[in-house]
């Protein structure tokens, strides 16, 4: 069983708050699942891209908040079912083939 996260809204990427927003919680979970540190950050980057974020590395999510929200919500749905790195990767690859 995975972990539940709140839905990500496009306007989350333009909010200033001291509280972590849903996409930030998802990023932290992915970094942890990926092993933490640089390895975890690389895994998070790979998963966000596989979920549909196709912008350059230096692009911010606020540059295309609708696309970012779509990618993070796809990850949110998968993370509710599993927190296994291999399964996340496999399921994202399978859904990319189906698209």
12 located within any domain: no
User: How many domains are there within the chain?
Assistant: 1
Name the phi and psi angles at 26, rounded to 5. Answer: -65, -45
Tokens of 59: 């692009």
Judge whether 73 and 7 are in contact, CB under 8 Å: yes
Is residue 14 one of the residues assigned to a domain?
Answer: no
Q: Examine residue 6 and state whether it is found in any structural domain, yes or no.
A: no
CB 99 within 8 A of CB 54: no
**pLDDT tens-digit readout, 55-98:** 876 578 999 999 999 999 999 999 999 999 999 999 998 887 77
**Would 3 be classed as within a structural domain?**
no
For 24-33, what is each residue's pLDDT tens digit? 999 999 999 9
Query: 57 vs 34, which has greater pLDDT?
Result: 34
Domain containing 62: what range?
20-98
Task: Evaluate whether residue 65 is within a structural domain.
Answer: yes
Asked whether residue 11 is assigned to any structural domain, the reply reads: no
What pLDDT does residue 57 have?
66
């Amino acid at each position: 069983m995975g972990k539940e996260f709140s839905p990500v809204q496009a306007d989350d990427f333009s909010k200033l708050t001291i509280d972590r927003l849903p996409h930030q919680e998802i990023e932290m979970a992915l970094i942890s699942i990926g092993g933490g540190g640089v390895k975890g950050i690389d895994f998070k980057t790979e998963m966000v891209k596989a979920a549909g974020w196709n912008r350059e590395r230096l692009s911010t999510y606020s540059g295309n908040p609708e696309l970012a929200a779509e990618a993070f919500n796809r990850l949110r749905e998968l993370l509710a079912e599993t927190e296994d790195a291999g399964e996340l990767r496999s399921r994202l690859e399978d859904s990319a083939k189906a698209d």
